[in-house]
Every structure is written in C-alpha cells, then in structure tokens.
Amino acid sequence: KAKLEDGGEPKAEKSKAELKAERRAKQEAQRLAKSQAQQSQDQKQKPESKIRVPDEIKADDKKTEKKLLKKLTSQNVPVRTKAQRQVGLFSHLHQYEREVSVTRNLPVVGGNLHPAIIQLGIQFAEGKIVGSSGRCISLLLALRTLLLDMLPQLSTATELYKEVDNIMKPNITFLKQCRPLSISMSNAIRYLKREVISFGRSLSLEEIRTSIEEMVDDFININFTLHPKAISETANKKIRDGDVILTYSHSKLVEKVLLDAAAQGKKIKVIVADGRVQNLGRSLCPGLVAAGIHSTYILLSAVSQVLPSVTKVLLGCDGVMANGCVLANVGTSQVALLAKSYNKPVVVCCETYKFTERVQTDSFVYNELSDPDDLVTTGRQAQPLADWRDLSSLCLLNLVYDLTPASLVDSIITEISEIPPTSVPVVLRLHNMGDPSLAL
C-alpha cells in the first residue's frame, strides 16, 4: 500500500531486503571509517622505524664523527688525521693520511694501550701483516698477551666478563684506527668474549691463565690447522691430472690445496693472476714452483687470453655474506665474471669462521680505502701521478675489496662440505644454535 505525503502524492514502502541492504551498507561504511581512524592514530603514535647504520660507514656524518672523537678521548686513543683528498662516492668510509704516525700522540707513561697492541697496530697501518688469516692470528696472539699481562687485575674482578671487555675496548679501538677490522677478526673477537662469559666466577689466577691460553690456542688450531686440512681434502677430490687451475692473488688456503695436490702426485698447471697495488701473487709462485707445479704468472688484464685453456677457477676470500656474495681482494669479481662468460667453474675456498650475517650487494656501501699514494709508484722512473695532490680535479681511489655476486660462484668449499652460496644462511643458523662441532 502507498501512503499519502503532505503534497498528496503516494510514497512506496521499502521491502525488507532493501532495508537490510541499507543497514549493511551503513555498517560497512562505519567499520571502514573506524579502521582508517585507527590506522592514522597508530601512525601518529609509532614513529617510523629507522635502519641502524654502523658507525664504520658513516664517516661523512658530523654527529657520528663527534661521537667517535668523544670515544677516542675517553679511551686515551690518539686521533688520526683524515685524508684531505677523497672520492666523493666513498666519503662515508674512513681514510687517514699515512705520513702521520699512528703513535705520535700516544702518552709515554700512563696509557691504557698494551705494547703488543701498539706494535700490531703499526704493522697493520704499514701493511706489514696482510691476508685475513695472518691478521686474525696476529690479533689473537696480541690479545692473549694482553689478557695474560692483565691477570692480576682479572683475578680480583667481581665480574670477569666486564673487566675483560673494559680492557679490550681501548685496544680494539686503537687497532680500528690503524686499519678497519676484517670479518674474520670481528668473529674472533666475538668468540673470545663469548668464551669469557662461560668462565666460572671462582677461578684462581692459574685457572684463568690456563683458560685464556686454551681458548686462543683452540681457536687457532681448529680454524687455521684442522679446517684447512679438511677443506684441502674436499677440494682435491675435484682436482684431476691435467687440470689447468686459475687463481687470483695469494690465498694461503688455495696455496695449501695446490701444494697438497702436488704432494699426491697430481700433474696440474697453475696460472696465477695478479693485480696492483699489492701484487700478492708474486709471493705465491715461488712456493708452487718449488713443489714442482708448472706455474704461470700473469696480470689481471691478461685473464681473458688464458681462460680458454683453464679447466677450473679456484679462489680465496676474506669473507662470505649471508646472501652468498663473496668479499675478496679487489679484482676477484672480475676474474669470476670472465670465468663465467667462458663457462668455467668458479670454486671459492673459505673457512666458516669467515661467514658473516651481514648482507651486502655492492662494493660501495662497505669497503676499505687504502693509501692512494700506493698507486703513484709504478716501478718505473717516470711517475705521471707524482704530483696528483696539486691537481684539484684529480682524486685517486685505492680500494681493498670487491664483492663477487653469488650468481658467479658455483660452490663454496668449507670444512663442513662443499655447499652452494645459497646454503650460507644454513651454516650461520647452525653457528647461532651453538652446535659445538660448528662453533666459531
């Protein structure tokens, strides 16, 4: 039925279905408005989460530099002179002038830096100790000397871990000022701190001494003696008579693999590619020749000429990222890229103590800058770059590392087994679970 309105015109009544649909639409509109209001309120209450950037790659940030200066002052660590001429793309990385001595401002007496640490820092700064393994072993030995000399102070401490941390902090800071720590060195320091936490509280002086010595000796024996043997055994299963192996620079682990292959009577040829500035490959060739291995030494620019005769590429590294990318001496990624273009297998030999949970996809965000004056010396009388500091439009860049993408690496040989780069997170997860067979 239709009812008459004031104007006399009839008005049709709505059905139950239409009324129900109207109520539902009204409820949906109210619910949507309420959820939008709740979201806007949450955004106001919760500030946007910021990704924490390590201070090591914030050299161009004034607040971070002030924080570092305050830290150095509080720990009585001398401040080094920053490089005056630096490439803008890498201004976020620390770089110092070499002509200024790192020990110039050290106090003669009353300092909190151990002589062994000072000596090690000078050797790092002057490039006398190179290679991730060599630097890590020298660091562990210096820290062992430091802790053993501080035994009277440790034995009377109520909390041993905090006392060890306070002793190590200024010394580690000084080493970072001399040269940034490698991945293996950072993992070694983390291992020492983790082991100190497990020490009992009621240890005598002699027990603390024994625990420190065993802690360092076990790490060195496991990671620098036993693990390289296991890696060499696995790698030599892939090496056959007649193989022509290409390697780059000088890796102690790769050298052991090649020498063990020669000791087993395998007839192989090795091509050592090398690049400026360090030319570390020169020190690899004499040992190979002495072992009876036919060796060829070339520069990086000639790699494409010898790759057709190469059967496999064997590389060392300084670290492996969680995403499978490999951090190694600058030039390694070029060798891997050329090898991939020729369909040659690229195998990386690396101990798991060099694995890190850090993720990196390029060589720009995290790297190390060496002294640009090293590029000036060419070994000839003529040095076109001798006056490069007088040219305002010229800056020299001397990178230490580059990053090889996981897609260019076929496999990584570790002491556990031969794994693909995609399995690196699995190894890291086992480390975090505290498996004693995989302990760093």
Of 37-46, 159-168, 402-411, the range with the lowest mean pLDDT is 37-46
The band of 100, judged by pLDDT with boundaries at 50, 70 and 90, is: low
CB 78 within 8 A of CB 72: yes
Coil, strand, or helix at residue 193? helix
What pLDDT is stored for residue 46 in this prediction? 54
The band of 439, judged by pLDDT with boundaries at 50, 70 and 90, is: very low
Using a 10 angstrom Cβ sphere, with 0-12 exposed, 13-18 middle and 19 or more buried, the burial of residue 5 is: exposed
**Percent of the chain clearing pLDDT 90 (strictly above):** 46
Amino acid identity of residue 142, one-letter, is: A
Coil, strand, or helix at residue 413? strand
Residue 404: CA atoms inside 13 Å, Cβ hemisphere, count? Answer: 30
Counted residue by residue, the chain has a size of 440
Q: Is the pLDDT reported for residue 68 higher than 50? A: yes
Instruction: Quote the strand ranges of 207-259, DSSP E.
Output: 244-248
CB 390 within 8 A of CB 85: no
Of 108-112, 250-254, 320-324, 402-406, the range with the lowest mean pLDDT is 108-112
Mean pLDDT of 160-188: 89
**Percent of the chain clearing pLDDT 70 (strictly above):** 90
Element (H, E) at 270: strand 269-274
Mean pLDDT of 339-368: 93
What pLDDT is stored for residue 386 in this prediction? 84
CB 316 within 8 A of CB 305: no
Helix-, strand-, coil-residue percentages of the chain, each rounded to 5: 50, 10, 40
